[in-house]
Amino acid sequence: MPERTQSAPRIDEFDIRALPKAEVHIHLEGSFALIDILTLAKESGSALPGPASTIFDITTHGAYAAPEVTTGGGSGVGAGGLTGFLGFLDWQCGLVRTREQAARIAYSFAARQSSAGVRYSDVIVNPTHWNAWRGRELELMDAFAAGFDDAEQDGLCVTNMAYSLLRSQSAIEAEDIVGALVAARPRRVVALSVDGDEKVSGRTGEKFQNAFAAAASAGFHRTVHAGESSGPEGVWDAIDLLQAERIDHGVRAIEDPALIKTLIDREITLGVCPRSNVSLGIYRDWQSHPLPRLLDAGVAVTLNTDDPAPLGTTLDADWAVAATEFGFTYDDLAGFAERSIDASFANDDLKATLHSELQTTIAEHS
């Protein structure tokens, strides 16, 4: 990797968007545009959890910087921190009640990704947030797939889904979910995931070990949220117990040299999201973030947004900030693009196409 300097010239976001890339750590629940929320609320006759101007603050300036918003259940966003943020996600996802609305959200996601220069996405979907679809989770997946089908047909970002368990679910629930996924093989569901607050739930690797083993045996990919609010032990559990091919976050691995070696030896990629980590207080600022140290150690790292709408960002914007904060060059960002394609769960043909287009883009830039 080229030597980085803090005085590296600013990279134009047009050049960042032009790099063919994948995003591998992003949640559908955290990708609602303001117009999506306002339209869904109007369609359902639901009152906004505060003035429209406050919803604007949440979806454009970031939930963590926004004034407190209370939902019907009293959860605050902004001043409410992570709990309030999750409460807001539950409220907005609860507005999606029909197949057509779900397909529209999926199409809107693909359009948003395309506008940031993303060509392929592994989007994480946790059905526990979508309360109108309880007991009909596979129907929800199919509705999203229909929207992603339409988006791909229209030339937008190709999107597949990682079905995510919630850490607070039981082992039996997880095994039943995987059994249903294996039996139904829902379209565009290519991976099993698990997310939720590690600090609250504690170590859950052993609880979900059988579910992830069944998913692996059935040919589903595995990606696990770990090493965010937990330390390196969460990443070890993801690797040793859940057969993780990719780690979502994983930044706390920097604290354990043996874990760093294991990540390198097993070629396990970290889907890192600096803005999210800083917003949630995992690190105090961008300069404290271990992203450069992980790269220098030889870990395969991709740069992602996590929940871009409530964090008030897009992938191209975060790549530009990373370039400024860490002194990344254009070649560094091309490396992020290359690793994102490699780490994605796209099929081999699409990966080959994206790699070819990436090399052409880099040559034309030189």
pLDDT (tens digit, 9 = 90+) per residue, 115-125?
999 999 999 99
Angle between helices 232-240 and 257-265 (to 10 degrees): 30
Q: Give the C-alpha separation, 37 to 46, whole Å.
A: 10
List the single range of 101-115, 199-213, 297-311, 324-338 with lowest mean pLDDT: 199-213
Its pTM stands at: 0.91
Q: What are phi and psi of 328, to 5 degrees?
A: -70, 140
Q: How confident is the model at residue 9 (pLDDT cuts 50, 70, 90)?
A: low
Express the helix, strand and coil content of the chain in percent, nearest 5 each: 55, 15, 35
Q: What value does the mean pLDDT take over residues 171-188?
A: 98
pLDDT value for 66: 39
**Distance (Å, rounded) from C-alpha 228 to C-alpha 282?**
7
- The catalytic residue positions are 228
Strands 269-272 and 246-249: parallel
- Separation between Cα atoms, residue 89 and residue 71, nearest integer Å: 10
- Give tens-digit pLDDT for 65-100: 433 433 333 333 344 556 667 778 889 999 999 999
Alpha-carbon radius of gyration of the chain: 19
Domains and CATH numbers, the chain: 13-33+99-365 (3.20.20.140), 47-94 (no CATH)
The residue-averaged pLDDT of 21-43 equals 95
Model confidence pLDDT, tens digit, residues 228-248? 988 999 999 999 999 999 999
